[in-house]
A and B are shown apart, each in its own frame.
Chain A
């Protein structure tokens, strides 16, 4: 790690350990993340670091590696918090890297303020066989506008977002469109109830003849590099998985050393100790795969394979690690007083969802 990376990691870790971890249970039960926690995370500046200074950002160089360090650390604290706190990046990052000058000038300053201002991405779709590479939501050119029809789900902060990027297929080609939250063509449904991330407000959104000015097609007339955008989100998901898995591993490890049965700590039994050993290298493996994809991203290489494998591995293995976490703790792992059942529920989302984080 470079000096900057160490510093970033330390700062996020301080916030997470000091504020997030202690409140994660309460946030989950209350289904709410206190604004001050989100604001504190916002003040770290990760979401706007890429944005040029004239639009309110820090004008830093793109660093996918730094992003995965931050995402892992945040998800280590709580996945709902990590998604909520970084969801503006899902809007800001593609705008910076793929937006036209006019789009940047118009939209970035709105979301690069001192206080957290919700904006988001509407990507996943609520039907069987959903695939972000084969979108059912469509955009159609009509005069000086695009008409969007379809439905989205798992849109984080979808109710309060000033703007969102909406993924839709235009003549069979995947595109992103900038859509205002108050566009009359979209309807935000009631808040979703999901298996995990109780504290994260996420929504289904329906688009019915939703009119979007043609200047709001991301990247202008030529569109954007949608595939690379998806790849960057896949690396982000993998980084979060490393955080969730590590949280479960560390908690179960601490418990196994304390919990005495048959006269000695259960950690002294091979059946438990070997599960922990496996958890330790799977956590590292998830991280290493994410780091590899991020390193290739930073080098400007094609990451279709590495990002795909990283997310797939992360989905499988974070679930396995979280499962072991619950299993090692036995009955205590099953009750909500301890965090491992939450990690178990949250980890399920890594394989099933797309685009909840970006690097």
Chain B
């Protein structure tokens, strides 16, 4: 039956992670916003945690899954656990979450589609994801970086921009077009290790927000990597997860994560605003007719309601992934709503806070800057709406561009 009351397990997990976020991330939040690109050494303790990791599939994982379904029970699994953790950590600091060692987007991709051999070799490395190019943003099917098989090696060429963890990562998951293959099936992803000749970190970006996160540009110039570094292995053996579609598939899991980031930052702003309101003697009681309360309270309640909607959409998408239901639509819904409203909420909080919202003495202004990226990366809000619209209207890429 429908029951979306928060499970006890999640409540406990949230509390534990909140302590962590409060104790470890908040205290250094401003420090690394100011010291852009400096490595947050305080985060080194997380290195062993492999937050994005998965264990090799061998140990009876599949059997466990089908058992849960047979019982008619639903799983509270890894995806839901992840979005809950991400929200809590981003409540602490979103840029620092992005800087957690071994927890890059590349790690998520490796975790999702790598072969067991690749997992063994790269599972414990810090992996970034290199997709975007100067001339290829949202239209990731149009990337031009190339890959050509030469004997036992792939030869990669091209330029990759806006790579998160570009400086700190050990390996990058690089998207490139295999020469001689037509269409989007030509796009594959490759694991490139730092230090490989021809693989160079060009520069780091200066950004509006999430400044603690090192965003940079890679140049690949006749960079040679082993044949076995094709992520997911040979396409003959592993058709399902291979190619452009396979990697796009990982977005179904990462979009709710970005939504959860937006939720965490927005909640931080709302919580701070609430504290200030209470200190000023404004009471919050959730009973009076909203038309009978002050404009400030009404806006505050509406922000809370929107935050709740963001979270419920996100948990639904994650829950569906845990229960192996197709969730492309729901993942995009969560990202569209959370990305947009996270931005609106943090802006509104700054407005309601007045001078405290504008001053860099407090974190509210930082949260407003940080939240803006959630409506941009992992597919802009507009792209999410495009995906949702195609899905609900049953239109193809050509019919709705």
In this complex, what residue of B is CB-closest to A1?
Answer: B2
Name the interface residues of B252-311: CB closer than 8 Å to any CB of A: 285-292, 301-302, 304-306, 308-309
Name the interface residues of A269-291: CB closer than 8 Å to any CB of B: 270, 273-274, 276-278, 280-281, 284-285, 288-289, 291
User: Nearest-CB distance from B93 to chain A (Å)?
Assistant: 26
**Complexed CA–CA distance, A276 and B289 (Å):** 30
Check A296–B5 contact: CB distance below 8 A.
yes
- The residue that A281 contacts in the complex, of B286, B388, B400, with Cβ under 8 A, is B388
**Complexed CA–CA distance, A316 and B389 (Å):** 22
Complex contacts, B301 vs chain A, CB 8 Å: 308-309, 312
Stretch of B54-62, B77-85, B391-399 at the chain-chain interface: B391-399
Complex contacts, A309 vs chain B, CB 8 Å: 286, 301, 304-305, 308
**Complexed CA–CA distance, A291 and B319 (Å):** 15
Interface residue? B110 (CB, 8 A): no
Check B309–A285 contact: CB distance below 8 A.
yes
1/0 per position for B329-362, CB-CB distance to A under 8 A?
A: 0000100110000000000000000000000000
Check B313–A277 contact: CB distance below 8 A.
no
Check A291–B289 contact: CB distance below 8 A.
no
Given the contacts A133-B288, A281-B336, A312-B290, A288 and B312 also touching, CB distance less than 8 Å: yes
Given the contacts A2-B1, A5-B2, A277-B388, A304 and B312 also touching, CB distance less than 8 Å: no
A contact patch SS = helix
1/0 per position for A298-314, CB-CB distance to B under 8 A?
A: 11010011101110110
**Complexed CA–CA distance, A5 and B2 (Å):** 8
Q: Which of B288, B316, B390, B393 has the most CB of A within 10 A?
A: B393
Interface residue? B201 (CB, 8 A): no
Interface residue? A65 (CB, 8 A): yes
Interface residue? B369 (CB, 8 A): no
User: Nearest-CB distance from A226 to chain B (Å)?
Assistant: 10
Complex contacts, A230 vs chain B, CB 8 Å: 287
Check A289–B302 contact: CB distance below 8 A.
no
Complex contacts, B386 vs chain A, CB 8 Å: 270, 273-274, 277
Stretch of A124-132, A187-195, A196-204, A207-215 at the chain-chain interface: A124-132
Interface residue? B63 (CB, 8 A): no
Complex contacts, B390 vs chain A, CB 8 Å: 273
In this complex, what residue of B is CB-closest to A291?
Answer: B4
In this complex, what residue of B is CB-closest to A269?
Answer: B400
- The residue that B302 contacts in the complex, of A65, A253, A312, with Cβ under 8 A, is A312
Q: List 17 A-B contacts (CB under 8 A).
A: A130-B289, A131-B289, A267-B393, A267-B400, A273-B393, A277-B384, A277-B386, A288-B4, A292-B4, A292-B312, A310-B305, A312-B302, A312-B305, A313-B305, A313-B306, A316-B305, A351-B291
